[in-house]
A and B are shown apart, each in its own frame.
Chain A
Amino acid sequence: MAIKVVHHGLATTVQDLGRPGYFHLGIPVGGAMDRYAMRAANLLVGNDEGAAGLEAVFMGPQLEFTADALVAVTGADMPVKIDGVDQPGWTALKVKAGQKLSFDFLNSGARICIAVSGGIDVPVALGSRSTYPIGALGGYKGRPIQAGDELPVGEGSLASEGRSVDPGLRRVPGKLAELRVLPGLYWHRLTEAAKETFFADEWKVANEADRMGYRFKGGRKLDLVEREQPFGAGSDPSNIVDSCYPYGSIQVPGGTEPIILHRDAVSGGGYFMVGTVIAADMDLIGQLQPHTPTRFVKVDMDQALAARADEAVRLERLRVTLKS
């Protein structure tokens, strides 16, 4: 069985839960930007949570199925259609051979996850089917899908048609995004005033926002504590001796536009970082559209771990409710 790509949308890639273990060589973990949504989509169609699906940003693809299958679309609110007929999101849908899955305009959020019973069966590369486009690694030929591609699909079961995720277990981003941040890394480089304005100001998602990183604009410039630059860092005060970048870490080149590093992040570099978005909020970032007003909310480690525990509970409830 295969899926024929009639139209690829804007940027649609094969993703699973990622490729851990190679960050020390600069190869990022990758995987779905909104992992909760990808897990939910897979569970709906009876796959393992870690099966490969498609992630589409802003605009959905148009896909034709060569055999009967179950599909589920989760994540952003983007109306789903089968042969032009509206279908619910977050629900296991039957698609018959020859039918086409397509999408209407995006209402809210940024990324949808599309799971197919059996999973997208592209070759595993370094332990994952995720696409790492700049490294031309994984996914379908190491790149986003294109019209004319035929995506192989594994063997799946058609048993669980009609199941859906409880609305209380779907996460839809609000009008104002709040991202919880643990200050740290090179936080001490900021002046006291900058430490205040970073959390006080309202930022907006910039146009340069993708799987590698999300840039933000609109807050006041962050001044750095004066110092003689350490040898090897470079002369700009925002430069450091190149170090590792944690996932979710927020670098601020020149002190002006914070960039949150995401799933396809570079693994290190020479810009200072003010702290890190906590793991519980990483999925949310991938659902932010450009211009979304955003506040960074200061938390400590205990709060970060409590938020992490809340997420684990939510995921467990999802698993329990979808267990057939």
Chain B
Amino acid sequence: MRVGLFIPCYVDQFYPGAAQATLELLEKYGVEVVYPLSQTCCGQPMANSGYGKYGKDSADLFMKNFGEFEYIVAPSGSCTLHVKDHVLPKTEGAPKIYELCEFLTDILKVDHVNASFPHKVGFHSSCHGLRGLRLAKCSERMDPEFNKPLSLLNMVNNIQMVELDRKDECCGFGGTFAIAEEAISVTMGKDRIADHQRNGVEVLTGADMSCLMHMEGLLKRQKSPIKVMHIAEILNGNEVVESSET
């Protein structure tokens, strides 16, 4: 199977490790991964700020880069949702975009993960993946339970998943919200990490590097020992990396 790999701009620039893990993980499952080199950003920052019209060039570029693929995979629920809702034309034959975990679960039907991660792990359920892409049942809806990212993490050897008090509350990142509503954003983020801290989490993970970046920023400022890793890194068998600064 051949897929186009979309790496969101901030992952490309600041979290190349998460992107490498995504690439390696897909290859481990026998996928032929193509990474178009002319890719940039999906246009979400502009659109969520109200300036969807300024995202037209990046949307056109996205289609130029990925139009030929049947499947596009991205390690970000948020960007995937934006592309799905606002970039891909809703016509027959247009590519289908999948967030990494849903691609592994729904298309590859992964039933084993060849990795070990002997740590207490807290999973942050990012909103756009949760309620936009329906990667899991959210606590508001009274549907049958399911959770795609968590079911993958539970296949990892020796992992100890931690139950949170509020399992799917927003962390307060929200793109430009993190800047425009800084006070609320920071309070929400602190409350989220406090939930992880209270429950003894050693490594905080999730399927959206943007939420993780926000919470990592707060954790580092507090000099917290909690490490932050993208879910692809855990599924790929990466070890916890000690920060070079500490």
**Chains A and B come from one and the same complex:** no
Please list the residues of chain A having a beta carbon within 8 angstroms of any beta carbon in chain B: none
Please list the residues of chain B having a beta carbon within 8 angstroms of any beta carbon in chain A: none
